[in-house]
Structure 1
Amino acid sequence: MPSIDQISGTVDPAVMAAAQQSSAGRTTKSSMDSEMFMNLLVTQLKNQDPSSPMDTNQMMSQTTQLSMMEQITNQTTTANEGFSLQMRTSASALVGREVSYTGPDGKAVTGTATSVSFAESVPKVTVGGKEVALDLISGISATPTA
């Protein structure tokens, strides 16, 4: 963020040039993030009318919104990572157990889960030689039938 001279309130041109140069090589984003929000705030401050500066309460409100947006983004990321870990743990616990799922023909299929793949976002459990997405499994038995 460009430094502002405490006495005159002007932005140091060297710092501003460096900030503009570093942002020039970035790729375009389709969603708003904290960097875009901060750039909007800096632009707003640069272009404000000196005879009617931005209200301090409004500036604090915008800064608080930025902080809240960052915290929500962090919480969403943490929740997604937790859910992914929970799916992997659940899929791993199925190995050696009898599971049921609905086949492509609409009929119930039952078999022993022999392995799990984590190559995609939803783990796949191998049942009778076929990979079945974890979310398609409809039942679990404690032990396979003989």
Structure 2
Amino acid sequence: MTIQPIAPQPVTAAGETSQAAAVRAPVQTMDSEVFMSLLVAQLKNQNPSAPMDTNQMMSQTIQLSMMEKMQELTTNSQEGFSLQMRQAAAQLVGQSVDYTLTDGTTGTGIASSVSYSGAVPTVKVGDLSIPLDSITGLTAPAAP
């Protein structure tokens, strides 16, 4: 009779073993801290008789700065777009709106309120919560 060894299982906080706890997803992004640590390691380990080209080092530093500014610009653009969607949804309250749902259902009704709880604002029309990107038309109510 042969005895099979039992592989150790990782233990979770509750004391239970978990196969999923052993799997760790690798980091796929490179931020400024990683770049700087690589640059410092490169400087520490360079050959003293053939030091790193300062033009190359400046070029890498400029590229890092440009990358950080592009990320900042992207974040600001996303925040601006989110604000525009919220403003557009708020302006629909009290208006007659036409909508087309994902299943192809169309309808018309008065927008009574707006919710910002999701990624896309939703407009309450009757009993339905319609995503802002499903609104297909707008009609101002007739003046009394």
Q: TM-score, normalised by structure 1?
A: 0.75
The percent identity for this pair of structures is 58
User: Structure 1, unaligned stretches of length 5 or more?
Assistant: 1-27
Q: Secondary structure at the match of 2:51?
A: coil
Q: Which has the higher helix share?
A: 1
- What does the per-residue CA deviation read over 1:38-63, in whole Å, with 9 as the maximum and x for residues that have no partner? 11111111121111111000000000
Partner of residue 47, structure 2: 49
Larger radius of gyration: 2
Q: For residue 130 of structure 2, give the secondary structure of its aligned residue in structure 1.
A: strand
CA offset at residue 104 of structure 1?
4.8
> Where in structure 2 are the equivalents of 1:14-29 lying within 5 Å?
29=27
Match of 1:84 in 2: 82
Counterpart among 106, 127, 135 of residue 133 in structure 2? 135
Sort the Cα spacing of 1:72 and 1:104 in 2 relative to 1 into closer, same or farther, 3 A: closer
Q: Which residue is 1:107 aligned to? A: 105
Q: Would you say 1:120 and 2:140 are equivalent positions?
A: no
Go from structure 1 to structure 2 and tell me whether the alpha carbon gap of 1:91 and 1:56 turns closer, same or farther (over 3 Å shift). Answer: same
Do the aligned partners of 2:101 and 2:130 also contact (CA within 8 Å) in 1? no
| Corresponding position: 1:35 with 2:44 | no
Work out the CA distance in 1 between the residues paired with 2:103 and 2:64: 50
Match of 1:70 in 2: 68
- Partner-residue secondary structure (3-state), 1:110: strand
Any runs of at least 4 consecutive aligned residues in structure 1 with deviations exceeding 3 A, and if so which? none
Give unmatched runs, 5+ long, in structure 2: 1-25
* 1:58 equivalent among 56, 59, 79: 56
The number of equivalent residue pairs is 117
SS at match of 1:83: helix
Which one-letter code corresponds to 1:112 in the other structure?
A: I
CA RMSD of aligned residues (A): 1.5
TM-score by length of 2: 0.76
